[in-house]
Amino acid sequence: QEQLAESGGGVVQPGRSLRLSCAASGFTFSNYGMHWVRQAPGKGLEWVAVIYYDGSKKYYADSVKGRFTISRDNSENTLYLQMNSLRAEDTAVYYCARDISSRWYDCWGQGTLVTVSS
């Protein structure tokens, strides 16, 4: 069964850092591009970042560029999101998602909540 499971969310003060993980199972992780998508409470979906299947390319939303870093460890079947200089507006549920042919998401994790508050 193909699954993604996020972890690492929690409450953090503004300006601090947090690292999210997304563990993949049931499929060949190294064959797929992977994304982070977030959803602020009561709001819509916002794409955050993408990393190619081999880690060769990474792209970020303007709202997180220079503060967040996406990475992956294909030997551990794990995707990461390092979040630095966190702001209140980064408060959201963060989902990892697998893309198919760089065109749509067919598998999502359950999400992990990040709350940035003093």
| Both structure tokens of 114 | 């990040």
Count of other CB atoms within 10 angstroms of residue 100:
11
- Annotate each residue in 13-32 with x if it binds another protein (CB under 8 A) or - if it does not, as one string: --------------------
Region near another protein per CB under 8 A, out of 7-15, 24-32, 42-50, 81-89: 42-50
DSSP state of 19: E
Number of residues that bind another protein (CB under 8 A): 21
35 binds another protein (CB under 8 A): yes
Q: Which one among 31, 40, 59, 73 touches another protein, defined by CB under 8 A?
A: 59
50 binds another protein (CB under 8 A): yes
Residue whose CB is less far from another protein, 27 or 47: 47
Q: Which one among 13, 44, 66, 118 touches another protein, defined by CB under 8 A?
A: 44
Q: How far is CA 50 from the centre of its chain?
A: 8
Q: Three-state SS for 88?
A: helix
Dist CA 25 CA 47 (whole Å): 23
Dist CA 1 CA 12 (whole Å): 33
> Look-up: residue for tokens 């560029």?
65
* Residues at the site binding another protein, with contacts judged by CB under 8 A: 35, 44-47, 50, 59, 61-62, 95, 99-100, 102-106, 108-111
